[in-house]
Structure 1
Amino acid sequence: MIERILPSTVVAVEAFDDPPGVVLFPEEEAAVARAVDKRRREFTTVRHCARGALATLGLPAAPIVPGERGAPGWPAGVLGSMTHCAGYRAAALARTGDIASVGIDAEPHEALPSGVLDAVSLEEERKRLAELGAGRPEVWWDRLLFSAKESVYKTWFPLTGRWLGFEEAEIVFDADAETFTARLLVPGPVVAGAPVSTFTGRYLISDGLLITAIVLP
């Protein structure tokens, strides 16, 4: 499903349940030694997806250990992003020479809990969401905004190593094209010698899920 919003340079593998018998590397086992069962299942399956993507790229399986702020540590020559929510796990990987960064996020297609939208959005974003909701009420735009910002952060962090707050990127959706633009409100990363001030992404809504993805060339 997620491959519909990713370019051919990015390999994605997804799962809609947790297959039995998946074995973690010792380094990964140590990272979830005290985790509750739900967290362990998410952690294990999403790494199973990532190793499937590595295999598609012609690369051997390798441990993917959480690093700073939980960012996955990828093998040399590879970059990627992972996501999981109820009923869905996915990993998207590419060779480092093909893209600069990628960020993906999946969420249940339902409203955000009360109060969350105010915490993760700007006033102008909330105004635009209200307009979008009036025209297309079948979409939970608040959750889609949250997902887009998660994808922004996952694209941002590997390039900068810095935190990016929800209020530091402004999202504008194009509902007809099913795309979005993220304008960075702080100095952006430098890619190939040029500063980056915006990310562009795509989204899809299907089977009770919404998925966002950003691929930075």
Structure 2
Amino acid sequence: MLEEIMPPWVATAELFGDPPDITLFPEEEALVSGSADKRRREFRTSRHCAHLALRRLGMDPRPILRGERGAPAWPPGVVGSITHCTGYRAAAVARGALSIGIDAEPHLPMPRGVLERTATPAEAAALDLLDLPDPGRLLFSAKEAIYKAWYPLTGHWLGFLDATVTFTAFPSPIPSPHPLDGPEAVARAGFGTFAAEIAVHGPGWPARFEGRWLVSGGLIVTAIAVPTPSA
């Protein structure tokens, strides 16, 4: 799923379960040594995805510890993002880029009251145009991906209402030559792009993000990849 909505210069890896034979570095295992079983499983599989993505980038796997606010501490010269939800774990990494943000959510209704805390009235009204059941979770996922892309660039908090998101949905099947094109496209519940206008400003801070989204198989995946200006 993730590879389909990421540019080709981003290396990705994803798993839809928790293989029992995963082996992490001791430093990584120590990060969740006292955690509950569910937390250990999602952490171990997510870190394993990160190792696979680094290998696809041409790098030997290495311990991925925690940086500021608990975000993964990537090797020098690498940016990346990790996500996990029930039934899905994924990682995305790149060299020579500014930032990456990914998020995955189950395609389920939002808990009562959450949409009102994460969406402006205009955003909530626009979700009905996507023709998706319970599209509020898609907006939540996009804003999680936005924060993951935002924080490494600024080091500052970004609230849910500090980003205004506009979605575009592609028709089904996706018209060629879009990279999501293919005979399997008609089975997807939805896919498209999104843009985020940021209301918080600072020197050198991004004012806008662009990303892609995919809803398929009961899952929502959103992704942002920010290249360097030269790229």
Question: How does the TM-score come out when normalised to structure 1?
Answer: 0.91
- Report the CA distance between 1:37 and its aligned residue: 0.6
Does residue 209 of structure 1 match 2:202? no
What are the residue-to-residue correspondences of 1:36-115 with 2, within 5 Å? 36-95=36-95, 97=96, 99-115=97-113
Q: Which amino acid aligns with 2:195?
A: T
Q: Report how many aligned residue pairs link the two structures.
A: 207
Q: Any idea what the Cα deviations from partners look like across 1:57-81, whole Å, max 9, x if unmatched?
A: 1111111112221210001121100
Identity of aligned residues (%): 55
Question: Which segments of 5 or more consecutive residues in structure 2 lack a partner in the other structure?
Answer: 171-190
Contact in 2 for aligned 1:80/1:94 (Cα 8 Å): yes
Q: CA deviation at 1:188?
A: 5.4
Tell whether the 8 Å contact from 1:152 to 1:199 is kept in structure 2 after alignment.
Answer: yes
Flag as ranges the 4+ runs of structure 1 deviating above 2 A: none
Question: Counterparts of 1:157 and 1:188 in 2: how far apart (Å)?
Answer: 12
Number of the residue aligned with 2:119: 121
Q: Aligned pair 1:172/2:170, yes or no?
A: no
The one-character-per-residue Cα deviations of 1:148-182 (angstroms, maximum 9, x if unpaired) are 00000000011111111111111111123711110
Change in Cα spacing, 1:124 to 1:62, as seen in structure 2 (3 Å) is same
SS in 2 for 1:100: strand
What is the alpha-carbon distance in structure 2 between the residues aligned to residue 38 and residue 132 of structure 1?
36
Letter in 2 for 1:70: G
Q: Which residue identity lines up with residue 209 of structure 2 in the other structure? A: F
Q: Residues of 2 paired with 1:36 and 1:211: CA distance?
A: 25
Question: How far did 1:24 drift?
Answer: 2.1
Residues of 2 paired with 1:172 and 1:104: CA distance? 17
Distance 2:51 2:206 in 1: 30
Residues in 1 aligned to 2:92 and 2:216: alpha-carbon distance in whole angstroms: 18
Structure 1 unaligned residues grouped into runs of 5+: none
Task: Give the drift of 1:139.
Answer: 3.4
1:132, 1:141 within 8 Å by CA — same for their partners in 2?
Answer: no
C-alpha distance in 2, partners of 1:43/1:189? 34
Q: What amino acid does structure 2 have at the position aligned with 1:165?
A: G
RMSD (Å), alpha carbons = 1.4
Contact (CA 8 Å) 1:14, 1:91: kept in 2 or not? yes
Compared with structure 1, are the counterparts of its residues 117 and 78 closer, same or farther at alpha carbon in structure 2 (3 Å cutoff)?
same
Q: Report the equivalent of 1:151.
A: 145
State the 1:126 CA deviation: 1.4
